[in-house]
Amino acid sequence: MKAARMHEYGKPAVLEDIPIPDIKPDEILVNVKACGMCRSDVQLIDGYFRKYADIPTPITLGHEITGVIDKIGSLVPKTVGLEEGDHVVVAPGWGDGICRHCQVGNTHICPNVRWPGFGPVGGFAEFIPVPARYLIKVDKRLPFETLAPLTDAGLTPYRGIKKLRDAGALDPDRIVGVFGVGGLGAYAVQYARLLGSGARVVAFARNPDKLAIAKEYGADFTINIKGKSVDEIGKELSALTGQNTVDAMIDCAGAVEMVQLATSLLSISGHYVDVGLVGDRIDIPLFPRVSREQTLHGSFWGNNLDLMEVMALAAQDKVRHTIETFSFDQINDYLNRLRVGEIVGRAVMKF
C-alpha cells in the first residue's frame, strides 16, 4: 500500500510502498478514503513535540481519518453494529482502557494513550488497523473529504465550546470571542452559534478572507486585529457590542501574542479556553487572572462521545466546511503550504 512516512525529523515525508498491516483479533482494517492535514503534522515533522514525546521513526503521518471497513477481526462482536463496507471515522486517542480517564470515557487524555498519525500507523496510508471501539459509523451520503477534518479540526473546538457552555460562560447577554479563524476557528464560530445559548459571537483574526468565512458561518461581528493595539481592539469591540471585553473566548491559535491579546480582553469572571498550539509558552500577567477571578481551561482534542455528537450535527447538515482537496503525491507540497500559512480552511488528502 501507499504510505507517507517520516523517517527523520526535519525532513520531508517519504512517499513509499509498504505492506498492508495485519490486524489483531479485536481490530478492524479500514481502507482510508480521506485524511485531513493538520498543523500538528507539520509540528511533528519540525520537532515541536519531541520535548514531550520523542516518537521513534518511521512515523506514518495523518490523524484526521475516514474510510470504509475492509476487514473485521475475529473477536469483534456483532453487537458493535459494524460490517464490511460501512463508512466510518476514526476516533483519536486510543487509551489503555483501565486508567481513571478511560473509565469515564476520556481515552484521549489517558497517560498511556496511542495516537494514529503519531506512530507506526496513520491516515496518510491506504489502510490502517483500528481497535474496534475507536470506529464510529457514519452516514454514507456524507462526503469523505468533509468527514475527515471533523475528527480533529471539527472535534477539538467542539469540546472547547462545550467546556465554556458547561462552565456557565454562555448566555444570551454574553459575548463569546473566537480567536484565530483557521482550520479550527471556522468550526469554532459555528459551534459558538449552535451551543452558545444566544451569546453574540465575535471573530478575531488577521486575514480578511478568514474573517469573511467567519461572518458567513455565523459570527455576529468580526474584528481584524492586524497591526492594532489592545486598546484599539477594545474600542472597536465596544463600538460593535457595547462592551470592551469578552465574557468567554476560545483561542484556536495558541500563539504567544494571541494568548496575550485574548486574556487582555477577558472580562471579570470570564472564561478562556485554549485549543491552539501555534506557540509553546504562556506569558501573561498573573494578578488580573486572580483579582478578576478568571478561569483558564485547557482542552485537548475530544473523546468518542464528542465525536459522535459532531457526527450527528454533520448528518443533520448543521456543519459547514471550507475544504481544499489534494492527492497523495502532493502531501509534501501541502505540508509546505501549511507551514507558511497558505491554507484557508482545511486541506484534505483523498486517495
Span 87-142, pLDDT tens digits: 999 999 999 999 999 999 999 999 999 999 999 999 999 999 999 999 999 999 99
pLDDT at residue 280, as a whole number:
86
CATH 3.40.50.300 fits domain 2-152+302-350: no
Q: Of 145, 183, 217, give the one whose Cα is nearest residue 341.
A: 183
Q: Is the pLDDT of residue 54 over 90?
A: no
Burial profile 70-87: b = 16 or more Cβ within 10 angstroms, e = fewer: bebbeebeeeeebeeebb
Beta bridge partners of 346: 323
Domain-wise residue ranges, the chain = 2-152+302-350, 156-298
93/106 Cα distance (integer angstroms): 9
Q: Is the pLDDT of residue 201 over 90?
A: yes
> In this structure, what C-alpha cell is assigned to residue 190?
459555528
Could you tell me which residues come within 8 angstroms of residue 212 by beta carbon, excluding any fewer than 6 positions away? 222
Q: Is the pLDDT of residue 319 over 90?
A: yes
Instruction: Indicate if 156-298 has the same CATH topology as 2-152+302-350.
Output: no
Question: What 3-state class would DSSP assign to 166?
Answer: helix
223/148 Cα distance (integer angstroms): 29
Percent pLDDT > 90 in the chain is: 95
Q: Of 189, 178, 165, give the one whose Cα is nearest residue 320.
A: 189
Residues 325-334, mean pLDDT to the nearest whole number:
98
Could you tell me which residues come within 8 angstroms of residue 216 by beta carbon, excluding any fewer than 6 positions away? none
Span 251-277, pLDDT tens digits: 999 999 999 999 999 999 999 999 999
pLDDT higher at 122 or 278: 122
pLDDT at residue 273, as a whole number:
98
pLDDT at residue 10, as a whole number:
95
101/29 Cα distance (integer angstroms): 26
**Structural element, H or E, at residue 65:** strand 64-72
149/37 Cα distance (integer angstroms): 8
Residues 190-216, mean pLDDT to the nearest whole number:
96
Residue 343: phi, psi to the nearest 5?
A: -90, 125
Span 135-193, pLDDT tens digits: 999 999 999 999 999 999 999 999 999 999 999 999 999 999 999 998 999 999 999 99
On the CB side of 20, CA atoms within 13 Å amount to 11
Span 296-313, pLDDT tens digits: 999 999 999 999 999 999
> In this structure, what C-alpha cell is assigned to residue 234?
477594545
pLDDT at residue 53, as a whole number:
87
Question: What 3-state class would DSSP assign to 298?
Answer: strand
Q: How confident is the model at residue 341 (pLDDT cuts 50, 70, 90)?
A: confident
158/139 Cα distance (integer angstroms): 20
CATH 3.40.50.720 fits domain 156-298: yes
Q: What mean pLDDT value characterizes the chain? A: 96
> In this structure, what C-alpha cell is assigned to residue 21?
498491516
pLDDT at residue 241, as a whole number:
97
